[in-house]
Amino acid sequence: MSSFSFHLDATDTATAARAGRWQTPHGVVNTPVFMPVGTLGTVKGLLPAQLREAGAQMVLSNTYHLALRPGSEIVAEMGGLHRFMDWDGPILTDSGGFQVFSLAKMRKIDDDKVVFRSHIDGNLLELSPERAVLIQEQLGADCIMCLDECPPSGESIEKICKAVDRTTAWAKRCRDAQRRTDQALFGIVQGGVHPGMRQRSAEGLLPIDFPGYAVGGLSVGEPPPVMYQILDSTVPMLPENKPRYLMGVGRPEDIIEAVCRGIDMFDCVMPTRNGRNAMAFTSQGPVRIRNQVHARDERSLDPECDCTACTRFSRAYLRHLFVAKEMLGPILLSLHNIAFYQRLVRQLREAIVLGRSAEFRAEQLARWNSRIPA
């Protein structure tokens, strides 16, 4: 793991927020960091150069989906995922563990493996911990994830305990299966909304000494205050000298709250999915660009944003693109939303360095909450 190192530049003692630098084989990542999601090796509708223009440092792709199409062997033959998708920065691949949750009706699971029935053609895909690691080694991402079981929100304590113990056993098998030394394998803390189960999970994973740890199984239906309570009890158990990743959480207010609790890394489809559906995140709060109120609106989408959508086009034009079903509309709002998220984590980092993360949180949440939705 000599290709990786994590250094804390600042910790805000008023909260638990951290500003760090994570050295990877494909460059340094300044944290907090938000990773746009490119499930199939592409962030929908955006070129890699546009992601860079928006400020993205690192992107995420998915093991399950790339194993089905085009296949990890083909990606390896094409020189690995970085070359295949023309992204020269760091990449993280999820293990397929989230699909254990999201595709529950299309899979069977036991202590050895999970077997999926492909949503594409009905063929079977077996994912054991060893297979998940092999696929991710073929893809060649900088950061790879252990195969885990994410239990649904509201599951019984008995089933959550079983999922936690299975996740721990699978993490050990993943670590034993890893052959490449230029990939950082993260363990994933599960446990639902039960602090005792989260502690059980962390205590099982910490002795394996992963180079980073993720918190999984949140934002799957529980109210935000419950998620914050789980972070309050879980994050302090994780090593201070290693990156901490909150998986799949993407509401801007949740990112701020999680950073103030010591989380360093985030990913979510929200900025691009919402962008494709005509919803923009702005410094003043969300804007639903299809609304009639924008039909003759000459203003920019967000006066505090310097992305192409905001510097070149009016709200009226952006609304026209969506009403006319022109593909440029989803592209521009996806680009803008990615730029918004990147600016948010940069501002958070600056606030942490200045010891102002608590003030930044209060100011930003008050700003968003005081605005009437457009």
CA 160 – CA 199 distance, rounded (Å): 12
Element at 94 (helix H, strand E): strand 91-94
CA 153 – CA 216 distance, rounded (Å): 12
How far is CA 299 from each of CA 305, 319, 349, rounded to the nearest angstrom?
12, 12, 29
The verdict on whether omega for the bond into residue 70 sits within 30 degrees of 0, i.e. cis, is: yes
CA 330 – CA 322 distance, rounded (Å): 7
116: left (phi over 0), alpha (psi -120 to 50) or beta: beta
How far is CA 67 from each of CA 77, 93, 185, 198, 368, rounded to the nearest angstrom?
14, 11, 18, 30, 40
DSSP 255-319: HHHHHTTT--EEEESHHHHHHHTTEE--TTS-EETTSGGGTT--S-S-TT--SHHHHH--HHHHH
Q: Is 121 in contact with 86 (CB distance < 8 Å)?
A: no
Q: Is 170 in contact with 147 (CB distance < 8 Å)?
A: yes
Residue 25, judged by CB atoms within 10 A of its CB (0-12, 13-18, 19+), counts as middle
Length of the chain equals: 374
CA 14 – CA 362 distance, rounded (Å): 13
267 as an active site residue: the answer is yes
94 as an active site residue: the answer is yes
Exactly one of 264, 267, 297, 302 is catalytic; which is it? Answer: 267
Which single residue is written with the structure tokens 């010591």? Answer: 262
Active site residue ranges: 94, 267
